[in-house]
Chain A
């Protein structure tokens, strides 16, 4: 058995805020305060999110972990403005999700990349411009193709790509409109361990390059600790924040930290919080 890790102090467990009603100054990043949501049904709403509060700093990465079906994806959809919370408020850079959506300032990548088979890689990345009725930004698309390593595949169709490449296209598409917040719903869930690991590091690099605030849903604790600046541990449905862990490791050192005891200890702590929240 390992001794109690001194490095655990580096990862601070912050008690979950319980819907503090006092006004707070506008946040640069993502701020969720006292958000609740229930899916409307004939016999009343089915609660999915209950009084959730946490913050992710501007340009930071928040990772949601929790049991299956606890409402993580619902929370992402609330941030994207695809659903409207019953209570509480959400802000990204001081802007609410409805305005964020109207101004096309949110990017979303789903578990299924959902690429359009009749479009080339480039045209798939440019889809948000077409949907938003905006002129295509060829230079930005070229840049996205470059940073996702797809420049040589720009004129290929999705069927010619591997699973990992398709996910990179989905990621680039989510970044097409230069969003303030990037929402990723288990984007690497269906990939093998090695591809997933490579894409994790690539994602960190891309987010650093684009200075985008990100909220990611994952079932992998290792992935959460590797990527996150803030790990938000959610309890059973309806999801409520069970614990929030800050991971202060600088992004530049994430690749090296994966095989250290410190990383293992952090994973263990998140796993313990997950277990306690079930």
Chain B
């Protein structure tokens, strides 16, 4: 028998494998081949970690949440800091107003700005209510007739391709300028997230869960009430968070492009631009950003109980 043969014979013997392969002992015998391979994989993984700066994935939990909140807060704080730094350099000219002057202007002209912002917010909220009604009805219709989801998908693509800034003047030819026209444009601007929401909602449930409905001969609406709707909650959550700020921006764009000739935040922006009042323009912009963020937060707050329930 050759040496090779002897080794081969040894390899087939049942050799006890250590329960915990010791890396320190360098167990790389024939019997420990599996653990040696595992060791190699571990070493490769470690070197891979080192290549990425030595950081490896950590389990999610408390510290991860704290880190996420800290990073988000830092990013939000960083924005005004960058803004102030850029304004201080003066590279972008006198039209680039810093945060301190913007806040001062907002404070000084608050009554005028708020007088104009309130109809914008009012149109936004009216548009949002209309869109919520459309969403509720749409969800039930899509739940009963899932084939409609494809049509909604196509509709959302068409609506998404419409430039609101061009649509508003065209609509002004058929609808009287004012709050009504602003609301219509607001609804149009929020329809894309709504349609996307409905399309995603139609395909949210897995086949196994649909089979459960089929197994118990469940009418579609009942199935949707007990199962389907709850699957759409994450989609609904994201959709609402996208829809509310989109409506607000839609209202401003409508006012900007001539939907109203009297009041509105968009109107303030246009006037500030053409009368060269950069601080006022930036103040209106800051208020718009704050309101959009607030609406985003409001949507998150509204959805929180449902989000918690499906977690």
One digit per residue, 1 when the CB lies within 8 angstroms of any chain A CB and 0 when it does not, for chain B 288-310 equals 00000000000000000000011
Closest to B233 in A: A118
Contact present for B215 and A106 (CB under 8 Å): yes
Q: Which residues of B lie under 8 Å from residue A81 when comparing CB positions?
A: 215
What separation, in Å, do the CA atoms of A104 and B309 have in the docked complex?
29
B158 at the interface (CB under 8 A from A): no
* Cβ contact of A82, chosen from B206, B211, B230, B309, cutoff 8 A: B211
Which partner residue on chain A sits nearest B209 by CB separation? Answer: A114
- Give the interface size bracket for B toward A: 10 to 19
Chain A interfacial positions (CB closer than 8 Å to B): 77, 80-82, 101-102, 104, 106, 108, 110, 112, 114, 116-118, 127-128, 130-133, 159, 177
- At the interface with chain A, which of B28-36, B101-109, B216-224? B216-224
A42 CB to closest chain B CB, in angstroms?
18
Contact in complex: B218, A116 (CB < 8 Å):
no
Task: From B211, B216, B309, give the contact of A177 (CB < 8 A).
Answer: B216
Complex Cα–Cα for A132 and B217 (A)? 7
Judge whether B217 and A118 touch: CB under 8 Å.
Answer: no
Q: How far is the CB of B233 from chain A (nearest CB, A)?
A: 8
CA distance A116 to B212 in the complex (A): 12
Q: Which of B209, B216, B230 contacts A104 (CB 8 A)?
A: B216
The answer to whether B215 and A159 have CB atoms under 8 Å apart is no
Q: How far is the CB of B122 from chain A (nearest CB, A)?
A: 35
- Chain A residues with Cβ below 8 Å from B230 are 116, 118
Q: In the docked arrangement, what's the CA distance between A177 and B310, Å?
A: 25
Say whether A131 contacts B212, CB under 8 Å.
Answer: yes
Known: A112-B208, A116-B227, A131-B212. A101 touches B217 (CB 8 A): yes
Q: How far is the CA of A14 from the CA of B98 in the complex (A)?
A: 88
- Known A117-B310, A159-B311; judge A128-B216 contact (CB<8 A): yes
Pick the 3 closest A-B CB pairs, nearest first. Answer: A131-B216, A131-B218, A132-B216
Chain B's closest residue to A123 (CB) is B226
CA distance A135 to B119 in the complex (A): 51
A133 touches B211 (CB 8 A): no
Please indicate the chain B residues that have their CB under 8 angstroms from the CB of A102 in the complex: 217
* Residues on A with beta carbons closer than 8 Å to the beta carbon of B227: 116, 127, 131
Question: How far, in angstroms, from A114 to B227 measured CA to CA in the complex?
Answer: 11
A108-B212, A118-B309 as given contacts; A131 in contact with B223, CB under 8 Å: yes
**Assembled-state Cα–Cα distance A82/B213 (Å):** 10
Q: Which residues of A contact B216 (CB under 8 A)?
A: 101, 104, 128, 131-132, 177
Q: Could you list some 19 contacts between A and B, CB below 8 A?
A: A77-B211, A80-B215, A104-B217, A106-B215, A108-B212, A108-B215, A112-B208, A116-B227, A116-B230, A118-B310, A127-B227, A128-B216, A131-B218, A131-B223, A131-B227, A132-B216, A133-B218, A159-B311, A177-B216
